[in-house]
Amino acid sequence: MKRIFLKYCITMICFGAALPLSAKILHEERSLYSTIVVTQTGNTRCLQFDVRSEQRSQSCIDVRRPKQMVFSYTRMSITSVLFAEAPKNILVIGLGGGTLPTAFHALLPQARIDVVEIDPAVISVAKSFFNFQPTSNLIVHAQDARVWTKRALLGPTRYDIIVLDAFNGEYIPEHLMTQEYLTETKSLLTPTGVLLANTFTGSNLYHNESTTYAKVFGPFINFRIPESANRMIVAPNIKPTDTQLKARAAVWSDRLQPYGVPIVRFARLLTKQRREKPDWRQNARVLTDQYAPANLLQSGDE
C-alpha cells in the first residue's frame, strides 16, 4: 500500500513523474476543475493539468521567442486561414495558455476573436505566465462551452473560423464531443466558414469521434503530420480547390515564419489527405448525449 500511495503522490499530486529533473515549478493551484501547474525547463514554459497519463502539458511557449509555436497542433490549427479568407469572426473553444488566439489576434487584427474557457483560473494563469492579453477584439468568456454555444445561437454573430481545442485532465469533455453539441456548433458557422477540431490519432474514441463528425459535417479532411500524435479534423463549408489552397499558402508563408508554421508544406498535405479514404470504422456508433465518451472509456467498447 505504501508503494501505491507514493506512486500516486508522484503521478497525481507531486507531478514529479512527468517533469524533467531540471523543471522549475513557477505556479501551482487547485481550481474548481483541476490542479494547474506552470513549469519551466530552460526557455520552455508549460501549462499542465493533473491527469493519469504521463503527458500533461496543455500549452507551452518559448520565453525567448514567444511567437514560435511549440506544439504541432497549434501550428496545424493555423491552416484554418487557408479555408476562410479575410475572416471577420473567430471562435476558439478552450484557452490553455492562449497561444492560438494570441496568434490569430496578431495575424488578423481586424477580426473579432471570442475564446471560451470554463476555468477562470486558467484565464488568470494565461495572462500571468503566457502573455495572453485580452483586448476589445480578443474577448475571453469564462463559461462552459456547451452553455455558451446555446446562448450564442440566439444572437446574430456567426463565425468564419471555429477551433475546438477543449481538453480537461483526461481528454475532451464528453458533452463537447456529441452529435448534439457539434450540430449546435455547426450552426454557428458562416456559409463559407470552417471548423477545426483538435483530437488524437491514438484515442480509444478515434472511430466514434470520426463517425460523429462525419454525421454532422459530412466528409472532412483528416489532417495529420508525421511528427505529431494529434490529428486535426478540418470541416469547411466551402471546399477550396487544390490551386486555391496552394496559392493562399504562398501568400501566408512569410507572415507565418515567426510562428514556425510550414504552411506551404501543410497545404500539400491537405491536398493529398482530402482524397484519402476514411481509415476509421464507418459503422462505429455515433456519440450522443445518451451515448457519451465516458461510457466508452469505462467499458472499453468502441
Catalytic residues: 165
The Cα 297–Cα 35 span in angstroms is 22
The Cα 176–Cα 199 span in angstroms is 12
Instruction: Encode 80-95: b = buried (16+ Cβ within 10 Å), e = exposed.
Output: bbbbbeebebbbbbbb
The Cα 19–Cα 12 span in angstroms is 12
Q: Is residue 193 a contact partner of residue 222, using CB atoms and an 8 Å limit?
A: no
The Cα 86–Cα 157 span in angstroms is 16
State whether the Cα torsion 106-109-111-117 is positive or negative.
positive
Instruction: Encode 213-242: b = buried (16+ Cβ within 10 Å), e = exposed.
Output: bbebbeebbbbbbeebebbbbbbbbeebee
The Cα 178–Cα 287 span in angstroms is 5
Q: Coil, helix or strand for 243?
A: helix
State whether the Cα torsion 8-166-213-251 is positive or negative.
negative
The Cα 27–Cα 138 span in angstroms is 25
The Cα 182–Cα 193 span in angstroms is 14
